[in-house]
Every structure is written in structure tokens, then in C-alpha cells.
Structure 1
Amino acid sequence: MGTLADGTGKRGCDHIFFIGFLGAGKSTLARNLGRMFNRRYVDTDRLVERRAGASIKGIFRREGEERFRELETAALSSLASERSLLVSCGGGIVETASNIELMRQMGYCVFLDGDFEDSMRQIRSLAARPDFKSIEHAKRLYEHRRPLYLEAADFLVDIRGRSFKEVSYICADMLLERGLL
């Protein structure tokens, strides 16, 4: 079941941000909950791509990760004028400390916590992931990011051994119980 990591006093725009490693199901969860509760959902990676007019892989290749992170922060900041979004965040959004602060100002973070091995099974192509250079590199990235996810999280949902549908219901129950959906 989900666990509360912080207080639930209302914040900013009342967005719900789904954070976690690649393959955790953040986009699927945001889409499922959006459909269940007739609430808009967005994906920070897609926002960056639209605003930049390029794929994430292309941005990484031509301009580097630092530029991608700047674009990611700008996309995240743009959500401040919106209300009640379900936001699927790119796996590295926690790499920038100001992003964590922005998410806290605008709403709540739900960390979808799973095993590295589960993530690797969900990822169809490592080549499509510009920040992965190898399985070993991905493992180090996971180990580096997990404490950042935990630090950012208001809520934690253990997704190990659960289907996307089960995770959707667990999150829905947890967020409804706290008046956040």
C-alpha cells in the first residue's frame, strides 16, 4: 500500500507528480488515473519534446544532458499556470534540486518504487534511452536516483510484483483517502 512521506496540507496548483525510475509505469499510471477521474494528464518528457521541436534523444545528442535538464525545468515551471494535473515525470527530473522544489510548490510527489530488474524488463529498448550507456551504467543511475526519489516523495507506492492496474487502484485509493483526487 502507499505510505505517506510528508504532510497533506494543500499546496499550490494541486498537481500530482509521479516520479520513479524508467519503466516504473509513471505515464501509464497518469493516463489510467486521468481516465478514471476525468482529470488531465501530461508527461514532462513530451512537453520538452514539443517545446524544443526535437526528440529527447536528439536533444541529448545535439545539446547535451545539461540543456535537456534546463528544458525540463522550463517545462515543469510552465505547469504553474495549470490546475489539477496528473504529471508523469521523466526519470531524471529529480537530478535538478529546483525541480523537486517546484513540484512541492505545485502539488505532491508519488514515488513509484520498484526494483532495478523490474525496470529493465519494462524498458523495451535501452538504445531509445539517451541517459543509458549500458546495463551497468543504468544500475548506477538507479542507485544514484533512488535516494533522490525518496527525498522528493510525499507518498511512496511499492510497485514490486504489481500490475499497472493494481498500482492504479492503490494510488487512486491512497489519493482519494487524502482528498487529493
Structure 2
Amino acid sequence: MKHIQKDIANEPQSLRDYRNNTPNAVYDGGNFDTQALKTALLKEQGYLCAYCLGKIGLELGANNKPKVEVEHVKPRKKYPKDELDYNNMVAVCNGLSEIYPDKVKVHHCDKTQGSEGKMNGMVELKKLNPLHKASSEDLIGYNLNGKIKSFKLDPDVEHDLNTALNLNNDSLMKNRRVIIDPGKGRPGKRQT
């Protein structure tokens, strides 16, 4: 997870117009087009998922779902007044790892399942927040196996990483291992 510095100047005019000109406007209202919003968030984040840092874009993934979705850092169901606030939005991947297409059940980022998973729409991260440096990259580090860990073994950070976001699943750890040490995790490469 990397700190995302929001800039209100990047907010698309279409979001402003929708918020200001639509009575009882809601994020998933029928007249709201998310394409310009997704494009603005992608550019602001360098086309990386706010949580797993995987590369994302507007194209469809192998699972025929868009590779990018809009995440509300403060959940919409819990904070309805913030659902159209650009400063509460980040771009995230579709939450399905594509490295193992036969294991479609590998959910992560905003698609984690269960009562403590982000998918239920009410789960707020306990400590991690990509919109605040002190609550994101200052709290975590990566080991050589590709695992993300809390610097201080904080149980709330560990909960966010492993339960709420599932950022240490095998697929994501393998992706990080290849970046940390390009010789690891690749078939046919000699490991030293």
C-alpha cells in the first residue's frame, strides 16, 4: 500500500455536476457515469491499485470484469454523506487474482468475503488508510517472501492486511516476490 495524495483539481467536472445538480444524488444512481471518475483516479494513482499496488486500467480482465473499480475508503453504507466526495475515493483492482484463473475464489482488496471482508460494504479498515501517509506506507514493510507486515506487529494493521484486504494471499505474495527478487517465483530460473 502506498500513500495516495489527493488533489481536488483532479476531480472530474462530471462528478461535481452530478453531485450539485442531481436531487438526492447517490454514487450508484442511474445517471452517474463512472468512466471519467475512474480515469481521473487512475491517473492520480499512476494506474496502480490503492491496496495491492497491482497494475490496473479501464480494460477488462481475464474474468471479464473491469480491472478497475472505485473504492470508498470510508464505506458508502456507513458514511452515506461521503459517497460522492472525491477525497474519499480511490481506484482499486477488481479483487480477483488472475495468476491462478482456476482459483476464482482468491478475493482481495475491496472484494474480500465474510463479515470482516470489505465486500459486505460496512467494513472500515481499523488502521490502514491509503489517503494518509502515517496510516499507510509508514506502518508496513515487505519481506523477501513478498509478505506485507506491520512494522510494529500491530494487531489492527495485521487484521487490515490479512482479513479485511487479504493482501497476503499466495497469488499477491508471488507477484511481490518476483518484483523484490526477479529470480524467485519464475519457472526455470535458478534461485540462489
> Is the TM value for this pair above 0.5?
no
Which of the two has higher C-alpha Rg?
2
**TM-score of the superposed pair, with normalisation by structure 2:** 0.31
What is the TM-score normalised by the length of structure 1? 0.32
More relative contact order, 1 or 2 (CA 8 Å, 6+ apart): 1
The structure that is helix-richer by fraction is: 1
Q: Indicate the structure with greater strand content.
A: 1
